[in-house]
Chains A and B, each alone.
Chain A
């Protein structure tokens, strides 16, 4: 959301579109040089480009959607928080010796209401990405999240979580400090909170590392975001014994927002601007803000106990199996 014009980063399937746009620019320049009026032709080509963009983005394969979800310019948790809140103060630390920059949180005001916002934070550039471990949170990150959510629950602030991680950090330090325990603890405690909880997958929802802040009254997903039990790369390596089969795995794993809606696992898909959230971040921000405010006003009507019961029932119903009557 910077004001300086940056060179767009193109995904391979956007190439035909980029070529067409380059041609439009070329024609415009030639026309200016030679002082001829080509506005009709330009208008036609531009509408053709718009149509092409819509076609491409309405029929993305799961593997292509994964690329959009991981797009380096895709708005991050911090981008959204700063854009949708009236005020925001980041809070730091798990009070156990660490402050994980890969999972951040703080208090904010949304539509006049004090709330707690938290989420995985991918870097906005390479250097930032390294500092934030590419959004892969450590046990300290999950424990900071827990501390902040407990804080929110005590002060009656709704919890707004943004999910965007390739997965929980899988390093030696993370294992030593109990990555499994940290995530498990959050899963259980998130069922206890009486305040509303809304979780939104804004990019990539990577397995247990995503679920570690993902137990909510509402689960929303941006149109081109993905949520998976195992990354298509890891799944392909294990089940196909060939990491190059990742596109097949992406297809088979049912990772897209539409797939997950059909499986009854998410509540709503937030539409993205044509070309993805990064093509028009302000538009994406408006869509997100509207949805959060709307769900929040519904959840605000309930008592804490009602929210807890409904949250339990929501997850209780997840799973598909067959049962022979005894």
Chain B
């Protein structure tokens, strides 16, 4: 039996025991694709990096999973895990920001909306930041800004490429202007990294919007995006209000940005690690081509040994 038939059979057996299946979905044993509705064993789905085996839909993956997908086993060194948000404005809407933070930390077991660290990707050392949409919609406050800035600064010192997997609704309103200024802070750090001629690749995943789009998401030397990811500056509804016409079907998708020249490539998640490794290798300095024969250099003062090395 081919693998395809095996999957097909397994799907057929689905409706027969619906009650049991629903229980197993609830248990997390099975996952239902939110796009095509097809059921798959969560284990199989995870093995395929949460990309639907039927329709190719990219289900959301969170930071731990993403780090596992991209970083070689046992090479991940997390950075700045002790940074947590405070409530500098004593912000309170229908709930206080302090309470929200505590709930989020309990629910997600994350300190804030980004994980950063150094690890190896197909053996290549990289500085990696992964945003996590579960934590207040991946919103960028002081902690996200500080962790990413420290990551980029460290990468500049250690001459490492930076990869940031973006997933964010934008700035964190509960920190007011402090969060807006993180856009500038991170962009400044990226300027220094760029000045050192080091490679930065943001990976735009669903969704990448607002202040993240208007800063580090769009500042890559090379910008990659996941298929069908929503990427934009203003919210879709806000844009709709300015218009009488209908928005194009693919508006603010990765495909739309590719069409208009704002991303370099759309890379399926299953190809992401390989593609990143390939790009990083292509940007590594190679040994200088063999020197021309010595007699061409006669009369020219030889370069010092150290320069040649």
Question: Which residues of A are in contact with B by a Cβ distance under 8 Å?
Answer: 168, 170-172, 174-181, 183-185, 187-189, 191-192, 207-208, 211-212, 214-215, 227-230, 234-235, 238-241, 248-249, 252-255, 260, 263, 265, 311-312, 315-316, 318-326
Contact = CB atoms under 8 A, between A and B. Distances in A.
A228 B89 CA distance: 13
Contact of B242 (A170, A315, A318): A170
A174 to B, nearest CB: 7
A208 B238 CA distance: 15
Given A229-B180, A252-B92, A184 B187 contact: yes
A171 B184 CA distance: 23
Contacts of B178: 263, 265, 318-320
Nearest to A189: B191
Interface string B172-195: 011111111111110111111010
11 contacts: A172-B247, A179-B234, A184-B217, A184-B218, A187-B183, A187-B215, A191-B188, A211-B183, A241-B94, A248-B93, A318-B182
A196 B245 CA distance: 44
Contact of B143 (A181, A212, A316, A321): A321
B84 A324 contact: yes
Contacts of A172: 239, 242-243, 245, 247, 251
Nearest to A176: B260
Nearest to A235: B173
Contacts of A179: 214, 233-234
B138 interface: no
Nearest to B185: A315
A212 B89 CA distance: 24
Given A175-B232, A240-B94, A229 B176 contact: yes
Contact of A253 (B176, B188, B238): B176
Given A208-B215, A211-B183, A252-B176, 7 more contacts: A184-B215, A185-B219, A208-B211, A234-B238, A239-B94, A252-B92, A265-B181
B252 to A, nearest CB: 6
Contacts of A235: 173
B239 A171 contact: yes
Contacts of B31: none
A264 to B, nearest CB: 9
Contact of A174 (B86, B185, B233, B262): B233
Contacts of B191: 188-189, 191-192
A320 B88 contact: yes
B93 A170 contact: no
Contacts of A171: 239, 242-243
B142 A321 contact: yes
A49 B58 CA distance: 66
Nearest to A239: B93
Contacts of B110: none
Contacts of A214: 184
Interface residues of B, number: 63
A234 B210 CA distance: 13
8 closest A-B pairs by beta carbon, nearest first, are: A170-B234, A180-B213, A324-B82, A319-B142, A187-B187, A180-B233, A239-B93, A184-B218
B135 interface: no
B252 A175 contact: yes
Pick from A180, A207, A260, A316 the residue with the most CB of B within 10 Å.
A180
Given A238-B173, A263-B177, A315-B181, A180 B232 contact: yes
Nearest to B84: A322
Interface string B196-233: 00000000000000110111111100000000000011
Contacts of A325: 82
Contact of B213 (A184, A248, A255): A184
B213 A315 contact: no
Interface in B67-109: 80-86, 88-89, 91-94
Contact of A255 (B88, B176, B188): B176
Given A191-B191, A228-B176, A323 B83 contact: yes
Contacts of A208: 180, 183, 210-211, 214-215, 233
A178 B262 CA distance: 7
B122 interface: no
Contacts of B185: 315-316, 318-319
Interface string B228-269: 000011110011001101010001100000001110000000
A243 to B, nearest CB: 12
B216 A184 contact: yes
Contacts of A315: 181, 184-185, 188
